[in-house]
Structure 1
Amino acid sequence: MNAGCLFPVKTIQQTSLKKRLLRAIAPRLNVTTHTNHRILLNFKDDDDINGDIVRTASLKSASISSLTARSPKMEKKEQVYQYIVVMRHGDRLDNVDPLWITQSQRPWDPPLHQDGKTRAFTTGQSLRQNLGAPINRAFVSPFLRCLQTASEAVRALCTVADPNNLSSDADLSKIKVSIEIGLCEMLNRQAIRANVAPKDGDFKFNISECEAQLPTGTIDHSAERVYEKLPEWEETAPAARARYMEVVKALADKYPSENLLLVTHGEGVGSVFSAVMNGVTVYDVEYCGFTILRRCIHLGENQSFAAGELTHQSEFGIKFLAAADE
Structure 2
Amino acid sequence: MKTLKIDNIELVLSHPLEINAEWIGQNESMRQLIACWMVVDELDLPLTPRIIGFPGIGKTTLAIAAAKHRKQDVYIMQCTSDTRPEDLLITPVLSDQGKISYHASPLLTAALTGGIAILDEGNRMSEKSWASLAGLFDNRRMVESVVAGITVTAHKEFRAAVTMNEDSSTFEIPDYIMSRLQPGIQIPFPDRADELRILSYSLPFSSPEALELCVDYLQKAHSLDLPYSVRDGINALRYTAKLKHADPSLDTSDIFKKTIVQILGDEALDLDSLAAKRQSSGEHIPSMNLGDFFFSEDNDLNPDYNEDDDK
Shorter-chain TM-score bucket reads under 0.3
User: Highest CA radius of gyration, 1 or 2?
Assistant: 1
Structure number having the greater strand percentage: 1
- TM, length-normalised to structure 2: 0.24
- TM, length-normalised to structure 1: 0.23
